[in-house]
Amino acid sequence: MNIEINHLDELGSAAEALLSFAGNEKIFAFEGEMGAGKTTFIKVLCQKLGVTDVVNSPTFSIVNEYAAPAHQAIYHFDFYRIKNLQEVFDIGYEEYFYSGNICLIEWPQMIGGLLPENYIEVGITALSEDKRSFTFTKIS
């Protein structure tokens, strides 16, 4: 599925489209260049999921946990700064990925083949300062 928005004010409709497209899938892998808007989109997505916590990039902590009324927990990962896969094992990634909770993963390419078998790949491309292109793909 492909979506383009012309202004960042339209991120909410892109988030709703992603949630509709995902169905029961709970693992989301966000791909895009630095500055494409992955964290910004995740903030809007979390709002749509009912998160009232402050949503920010877990760049240094690797994972943040958010509470949402309809979900036990939402986990937000940023693997940009990991130095080796042992760091991913050390945080107990399997407990998060296979918890049945929503996992939002930035920089999934940094963790090689550790993603679960089924997930939604979210590609984000910045076309201009405000314009974005989104591609949603079910991976299985």
Give the Cα separation of 41 and 26 in Å (integer).
Answer: 16
Task: Return the amino acid letter for 72.
Answer: Q
Q: Output the pLDDT for position 58.
A: 82
Task: Return the amino acid letter for 129.
Answer: E
For residue 99, give the 3-state DSSP assignment. coil
Query: Average pLDDT in the 123-135 region?
Result: 94
pTM recorded for the entire structure: 0.93
Local confidence band at 72 (pLDDT 50, 70, 90 cut-offs): confident
Continuous H helices in the chain: 11-22, 38-48, 85-90, 93-97
Residue 75, classified by CB atoms within 10 Å of its CB into exposed (0-12), middle (13-18) or buried (19+), is buried
Predicted confidence (pLDDT) per residue in 83-122, tens digit: 999 999 999 999 999 999 999 999 999 998 899 999 999 9
- Tell me which residue of 134, 133, 82 sits closest to 107, measured CA to CA: 82
Local confidence band at 75 (pLDDT 50, 70, 90 cut-offs): very high
What token pair was written down for 15?
């988030």
Query: Average pLDDT in the 41-55 region?
Result: 93
Res 56 pLDDT > 90: no
Enumerate domains of the chain plus CATH numbers.
2-139 (3.40.50.300)
Query: Average pLDDT in the 34-56 region?
Result: 92
Q: Output the pLDDT for position 2.
A: 94
Name residue, tokens 């042992």: 86
Pairwise pLDDT comparison (132 vs 71), residue with the higher score: 132
Strand order in the sheet with 119-126: 2-5, 132-139, 119-126, 27-31, 102-106, 71-78, 63-68
Query: Average pLDDT in the 32-52 region?
Result: 93
